[in-house]
Amino acid sequence: MYTKKVMDHFANPRNMGEIENPSGVGTVGNAKCGDIMRMYLNIDDNGVIQDVKFKTFGCGAAVATSSIATELIKGKTVQDALKVTNKAVVDALDGLPPVKVHCSLLAEEAIHAALWDYAEKKGIVIEGLEKPKSDIHEEEKEPTY
Ligand code: FES
């Protein structure tokens, strides 16, 4: 059901952990499955992602997609990291079962949320970046239950 790459990234996640005082951090969640993903970025003055770490409280596919997503954006510029879509994440894992594709969406959203936080802290606008919809911090302000 899962490819070798998914199993590998699930069993040996890359860049797991957190970054103290990150340039940007984003936390997103999927309301349906309840899984949560947090992405930390350290971005240098040239807009290059020097370090990235993640924490995922979720399913195995969410762990694998976060892990590979960190590898895909590390060393990239902010603009190139923006191009890492959930499809790119799925392709890099040699595919995901259809019911697990939403897990890769979480990875894309977590990157965007962290970039959004970075842009807000720096007071800059990143072209092509939209405000993340499922940023957990937003939800905390207005509980819906
Ligand atoms: Fe929710 Fe995978 S089942 S992220």
- Nearest-angstrom CA–CA distance, 31 and 33: 6
* Position in ligand 1 atom list of the atom nearest CA 34: 1
Q: Is 5 helix (H, G, I), strand (E, B) or coil?
A: helix
Average pLDDT, the chain: 92
pLDDT band of residue 145 (cuts 50, 70, 90) is low
Kindly give the distance from the C-alpha atom of residue 122 to the centroid of ligand 1, in angstroms, as a whole number. Answer: 31
Q: Which of 10, 32, 35 to mutate to test the pocket of ligand 1 (most atoms within 8 A of CB)?
A: 35
- pLDDT score at 39: 97
* Residue 113 pLDDT exceeds 80: yes
* Position in ligand 1 atom list of the atom nearest CA 100: 2
List the chain domain ranges: 4-122
- pLDDT score at 144: 53
CATH number among 3.40.50.150, 3.30.1360.10, 3.40.50.300, 3.90.1010.10, domain 4-122? 3.90.1010.10
- Nearest-angstrom CA–CA distance, 137 and 142: 9
pLDDT (tens digit per residue) in 12-34? 999 999 999 999 999 999 988 99
Q: Which residue has the higher pLDDT, 141 or 45?
A: 45
